[in-house]
Structure 1
Amino acid sequence: MEVVGYLKTTQLIVGGQLGALFKEHGLQAGEFDVLATLRRAGEPYALGPTKLFEALMISSGGMTNRLDRLEKAGLIVRVPNPEDRRGILVSLTEKGLELIDRLIPLHVENEARLLSALDREEQETLNALLGKLLDGLDEG
Structure 2
Amino acid sequence: MCVVYRRHGLAEGEFDVLATLRRAGEPFERAPGELAAHTMVTTGAMTKRIDRLERDGLVTRRRSTIDGRGRVVALTGAGRELIDQAFTEHMRNERRLLDHLTPEDAAQLESLLSRWLAYFEAPVETAPEAATRGAAGRDA
The TM-score by the shorter chain falls in which range? 0.7 to 0.9
**Structure 1 segments (4+ residues) deviating >6 Å:** none
Could you tell me the percent identity over the aligned residues? 45
Distance 2:22 2:40 in 1: 17
The answer as to 2:100 corresponding to 1:103 is no
Structure 1 equivalent of residue 57 of structure 2: 74
In structure 2, the CA distance between the partners of 1:137 and 1:46, relative to structure 1 (3 Å rule), is: closer
Distance 1:98 1:138 in 2: 33
- 5 Å-filtered alignment, 1:38-57, equals 38-57=21-40
Q: Which residue, 69, 73, 85 being the options, matches 1:86?
A: 69
Q: CA deviation at 1:137?
A: 3.7
Letter paired with 1:27: L
In structure 2, the CA distance between the partners of 1:86 and 1:115, relative to structure 1 (3 Å rule), is: same
In structure 2, the CA distance between the partners of 1:124 and 1:67, relative to structure 1 (3 Å rule), is: farther
Note the aligned Cα RMSD (angstroms). Answer: 1.5
Q: CA deviation at 1:60?
A: 1.1
Structure 1 equivalent of residue 4 of structure 2: 21
Q: Which residue, 122, 129, 133 being the options, matches 2:105?
A: 122
Q: CA deviation at 1:111?
A: 0.9
Letter paired with 2:20: T
Runs of 5+ consecutive residues of structure 2 not aligned to the other structure: 125-140
Distance 1:75 1:132 in 2: 37
Q: Given the two structures, how large is their TM-score scaled by the length of structure 2?
A: 0.81
Structure 1 equivalent of residue 96 of structure 2: 113
**What's the CA shift string for 1:94-133, capped at 9, x where partnerless?**
1101111222211110111122221344323312211212
